[in-house]
Structure 1
């Protein structure tokens, strides 16, 4: 993902995160509490927001320092968020525990995003340039 795509995607994910979080806190709360899945749903919302912010900051960083690894970081953050939070949302709402087995794959993608970001910063030829 290039810098513009990262920023636009992060903005959309941010709005979606607030919407999902509000929906879960109000309309879905009784059902989530009855199923014992409120904590799982809240974890999905938190990780979605954390990595939405990471995606946004990666997009901003791409304007100052460019490295192809930043594109990989952005993509890993996006895919990791979809897989990790998506599997937890699905688990919370459906009660099908098999979806919980998918979450570690999303977590691995999120970790990869952070590692791509770190590598992109260390390998950047303009690393002495002030941000």
Structure 2
């Protein structure tokens, strides 16, 4: 599973760079400053959590655990829902997508809590 987590993290980083560049060069003049800031927030959280997946994957190699696997799954879901909803909202203008963005945020939080629990369990003292 660690290889899958690492590959997913690396793949999400590639996508984050592409979407960041697309926003900076392709959307800058087509969006309001407010919508551009929302798009940038999506890219920013996309980057943070894709890097987090690399950390989770590296830890999974050292201390395999279902908690770590679930941590990775939650981070992936978070990227897809949080950042994905912000990308689609800003490009399409579909405002109701903002209502599902917090679900992605909760998924990020769950992922980090699960990682915390995995580390706590692995190093009990």
How many Å separate the matches in 1 of 2:113 and 2:94? 31
Gaps of 5+ in 1: none
How many Å separate the matches in 2 of 1:102 and 1:42? 18
Q: CA RMSD in A?
A: 1.1
Matching residue of 1:33: 32
Runs of 4 or more above 6 Å deviation = none
TM-score, structure 1 as length reference: 0.91
Describe how 1:69-84 pairs up with structure 2 within 5 A.
69-84=67-82
Describe how 1:1-131 pairs up with structure 2 within 5 A.
2-33=1-32, 36-124=34-122, 127=123
Structure with the higher helix share, 1 or 2:
2
How many Å separate the matches in 2 of 1:77 and 1:18? 18
TM-score, structure 2 as length reference: 0.95
Gaps of 5+ in 2: none
Aligned residues: 124
